[in-house]
Structure 1
Amino acid sequence: MRRIKTIAAVVLAVGIAVPTSTAMAVSAKGGGVTATSPWNSDSGLISVYDGSADGDPGYADYYRQDSAGTLRHLWNHSGSGTRVISGDGSKVIKFKACDENNWDEDDCSGWVAP
C-alpha cells in the first residue's frame, strides 16, 4: 500500500511540474480580414483570412522572436473566403491584420501579442 501511495505522489508531482497546455490562439481583425496566431497550435504559424468581398487583398504584418527587428508581411491574394498560412518559423511575437483599400488608407487592427 505504501508503494502505491509513493507512485501516486510521484505521478502527481510530475503532472504539476510538466506544463501540458497548448498555446491559445489570438485573432486580430482589420476591416474584413482576420489574422490568427498561433495557427493550429503552432506558435511559429500565422494565418490570414479574407472575409471581405471588396476585391482587395488582405495581409498581416508581424514579427518573429528570432528576428524581432524585422517586419514581415503575409498577403492573401486568393480572394474572399480564403485563408493563407505562413511558413513555419520562430514564435510570432506580435501581429496586426489589415484589409487593403486601393487609393485609401488600409483598415488595420491594433497590434496584438499571442
Structure 2
Amino acid sequence: MKREIARRISAIMIFGAAVMTAAPAVAKPASGLGYYAYSPGSKAVAMVTPSYAYVSLKQVRSGKSHADYYRAAGGNDLYHLWNKSGAGTTVWSDSGSTVGEARVCNWVPDNDDDCGDWEYD
C-alpha cells in the first residue's frame, strides 16, 4: 500500500513538472517514458505513466474533459476517463494492462466533443 501511494505521488510530481514545462506541440517524450496527449486548445492533458498501466487526466482550464484510450487486454474496447471536477484537478484511471493509444477531448454539451489527436509511444 505504501509503495503504491509513493508511486502515485511520484507520478503526480513528474506529471506536474512536465505539464508546467512541456509545450503542447510536444506530445510524446522518448520511448519508454510514458507519453502525453492534449485536448484542442490544451484545456486538458492526459499522461500515460511510464509503466503504461495508468492514465491521468488534468483539467488545465475550466470545462469538462475525457481521455479515451485502449488497453492491450481490452481488445477493441474503448475506455473513458472523465474529469468533471474543474480547473486544476487531476483524476486517475485504475491500474490495468498496457495502455496503447490515447486522446483527450473537451466536452461540448449537446454536440460532438472536440478531440485531440490519438497519441502513442
Q: TM-score by structure 2 length?
A: 0.67
- For 1:45, which of 31, 48, 54 is the aligned residue? 54
Whole-Å separation in 2 of the counterparts to 1:80 and 1:91: 28
Q: Which runs of 5+ in 1 are unaligned?
A: 1-21
**Number of the residue aligned with 2:7:** none
Q: CA deviation at 1:29?
A: 0.8
Aligned partner letter, 1:36: M
Whole-Å separation in 2 of the counterparts to 1:70 and 1:101: 23
**Number of the residue aligned with 1:83:** 90
Whole-Å separation in 2 of the counterparts to 1:66 and 1:43: 13
Whole-Å separation in 1 of the counterparts to 2:118 and 2:99: 12
Aligned partner letter, 2:57: V
Q: Is the 8 A contact 2:53 2:97 kept in 1?
A: yes
Whole-Å separation in 1 of the counterparts to 2:104 and 2:91: 13
2:111 is the counterpart of 1:107: no
Larger helix fraction of residues: 2
Q: Is the 8 A contact 2:34 2:51 kept in 1?
A: no
Whole-Å separation in 2 of the counterparts to 1:57 and 1:42: 26
Larger strand fraction of residues: 1
Q: Which runs of 5+ in 2 are unaligned?
A: 1-30
The structure whose Rg is larger is 1
Aligned partner letter, 2:53: G
Aligned partner letter, 2:52: S
CA RMSD of aligned residues (A): 1.5
Q: CA deviation at 1:104?
A: 3.7
Name the count of aligned residue pairs.
89
SS of the residue corresponding to residue 66 of structure 1 reads helix
Whole-Å separation in 2 of the counterparts to 1:36 and 1:68: 21
Q: TM-score by structure 1 length?
A: 0.71
Aligned partner letter, 2:46: A
Q: CA deviation at 1:75?
A: 0.4
